[in-house]
Structure 1
Amino acid sequence: MLLAELVDPELDVNRVLELIERSPPIAARLLGIARSAFFAGPIPARDLSDAVIRVLGLRLVRDLSISLLLSAPFERDRCPAFDPGRYWRRAMLTATLAEALAAKVSGDREETLAGVYLAGLLHNLGLLVLVHLTPEVMDEVFTTAAADPEHGVAELTRQRLGLDHCLAGAALARAWQLPPGLAVTMARHGEPDYGGGYWRLVQLVGFAERFGTLAERNPETTGDLDLAPPAALGIEADEWRRTASRWCARIGHLCEMADAFS
């Protein structure tokens, strides 16, 4: 019921507060995010109401709450090599960069902007599905990937299970009847040349994940990373450099904010 109400586009801020107050774990995480360095201001958030109304805003609170609710059912403790902090850092870096770039995309910006932050937060939700269903296999996958970075988690997962987190995410999206743009992004964000429905959203999130992964690994050299948004998105080179520079300067604070999720 909580999730069904949160996705209602007519939901007002007072009702959102009522819903969140029913879930103390979500309320605590949102308050921690509002008090993080990323949202630092002269007056820290005093309580949940202050965090929602003054600091975070309705749209961000809804997206964060939905992502926390959708990820909550999955057990992670049986997979010791899974790092929830890393998972949420990647999610937060992807969501914030994709959203920053969405306003620069040429063409149908309304479609692109709708749900881009939430799509970024949830693009790898299929990974939690695999950790929950096959913890022993995924523990080996994460351990192997850490020892040999040449073989990524997706490749190793396909070798062991015959599918990767994108396919697992697509199956989950169908089962839970998630919005189509979100479902397609979860399934296709690993395809840089994807050109089907919601292609702008998919390419934005996929690029943001790739750049965010490199930036997290090499925070001191992000200005030298030879990676630019797909040409089809129509983002001007100068706009990309300015956006990337501003975003890279906040990576540390974004990672700190993501830690409130884990």
Structure 2
Amino acid sequence: MENRNNEAAKTNLQQMLLHPEKLPPLPETAQALILLRNNPNANLDELVTIIEKDPGLASFIMKYARMAIFGYGERITSVWHAISLALGFNSALNMATGVASAGCLKITNRGPLGRIRIWHHALKCAALCRELAKTMEQKQSVDSGLAYLCGLFHNFGYLLFGHLLPQQYTFLNDLCLYYPAKETRHLELQVFGITHDFAGAYLIEAWQLPGEIVTAVAEHHFPDYEGQHAHYVKLVAVANRLLQNEGISDACDHIETAALLECLQIPGPDAEAALQMIDSCLDDFDTLATDLAA
């Protein structure tokens, strides 16, 4: 009976992915932020107004701006200060968009695939993707803001799994805990019949987010991908490798990280400096991830 129920859950999940109207809709705040992102005349006051309507989001933006790396600390006393002094308009808009988008997806907080761990990695990966994009010798080929969003959204498939099928997701979470040496995507296939990258791409496409993000979410485990938006795929893959994302390796063992950096025209020392900057903020990322899971 248990196996039959699991097969039924797999079938239901696949059917939901094929019908976007059955997936959780993009939250209203995220919709407003995306409209603002698409408005060439958008200004700081409009962004502050949207963020301040969501107390949780406003708190996150202020705490992010108080990270030691920015040097302002407790002098950040408002959302306006956080954006104008520390984060900048585009960075704040991208962060807010990612955080607001996840508001409709409810999953357990604990475990190797709990909300806390997922957010901790997402925040680090997004920040590293942005910094790596800034070091590319041909910067015109990528947008650092989009690179940040690719890193932030790349594991949203896990949030979708946990939201739609909480019982099966708890089982997957337990499997990852009990068998840490097992490759996580193989366990996902066992439990759901599909992997988080596949499911996440359907969600991001249903939300009508930019094609760069859809592709990065779908292909980030395949850095040998050479189609449209390949730079964003490789950026997320490199960031994951540099961060040594435990239990979740990509499918391209034949490609060295150094070769991917060369393809992206990112000097090795610059990549190392970007990683060191992220590593210097680990405690801050811990705090932010815990707050997002509250």
Paired with 2:220 and 2:49, the residues of 1 have a C-alpha distance of 34
SS of 1:151's equivalent in the other structure is coil
1:63-78 equivalent positions in 2, closer than 5 A: 63-77=94-108
Change in 2 beyond 3 A, CA 1:240/1:68: closer
Q: In the alignment, which of 248, 264, 271 is matched to residue 240 of structure 1?
A: 271
Give the TM-score taking structure 2 as reference length: 0.77
Q: CA deviation at 1:37?
A: 3.4
Q: CA deviation at 1:235?
A: 2.0
Q: CA deviation at 1:229?
A: 6.1
Q: In the alignment, which of 111, 115, 121 is matched to residue 90 of structure 1?
A: 121
1:205-224 equivalent positions in 2, closer than 5 A: 205-214=236-245
Paired with 1:42 and 1:176, the residues of 2 have a C-alpha distance of 35
Q: CA deviation at 1:227?
A: 5.2
Paired with 2:279 and 2:67, the residues of 1 have a C-alpha distance of 17
Contact 2:129-2:147 within 8 A present in 1 as well:
yes
Mapped pair 1:141 → 2:168: no
Query: What's the C-alpha RMSD, in Å, of the aligned pairs?
Result: 2.4
Contact 1:34-1:56 within 8 A present in 2 as well:
yes
Q: CA deviation at 1:139?
A: 0.9
Larger deviation, residues 111-120 vs 167-176:
111-120
Task: State the one-letter code of the partner of 1:244.
Answer: L
Change in 2 beyond 3 A, CA 1:257/1:195: same
1:123-142 equivalent positions in 2, closer than 5 A: 123-142=154-173
Change in 2 beyond 3 A, CA 1:229/1:127: farther
Change in 2 beyond 3 A, CA 1:58/1:108: closer
Corresponding residue number in structure 2 for 1:196: 227
1:153-212 CA deviation, whole Å, 9 max, x = no partner?
322011221101101111112211111001101111111211111111111012202321
Contact 1:124-1:166 within 8 A present in 2 as well:
yes
SS of 1:260's equivalent in the other structure is helix
RCO higher in structure (CA 8 A, sep ≥6): 1
Contact 1:63-1:117 within 8 A present in 2 as well:
yes
1:13-162 equivalent positions in 2, closer than 5 A: 13-41=44-72, 44-77=75-108, 81=111, 82-107=113-138, 109-162=140-193
Q: In the alignment, which of 177, 181, 184 is matched to residue 212 of structure 2?
A: 181
Larger deviation, residues 142-151 vs 122-131:
142-151
1:158-177 equivalent positions in 2, closer than 5 A: 158-177=189-208
Corresponding residue number in structure 2 for 1:5: 32
Contact 1:189-1:206 within 8 A present in 2 as well:
yes
Q: CA deviation at 1:247?
A: 3.4
Contact 2:60-2:288 within 8 A present in 1 as well:
no
Paired with 1:75 and 1:214, the residues of 2 have a C-alpha distance of 22
Paired with 2:269 and 2:51, the residues of 1 have a C-alpha distance of 41
Change in 2 beyond 3 A, CA 1:250/1:195: same
Q: CA deviation at 1:80?
A: 5.7
How many residue pairs match? The answer is: 251
Alignment identity in percent? 24
Q: CA deviation at 1:114?
A: 4.8
Give the TM-score taking structure 1 as reference length: 0.86
Paired with 2:239 and 2:172, the residues of 1 have a C-alpha distance of 24
Contact 1:38-1:254 within 8 A present in 2 as well:
no
Contact 2:168-2:191 within 8 A present in 1 as well:
yes
> Gaps (5+ residues) in structure 1?
216-225
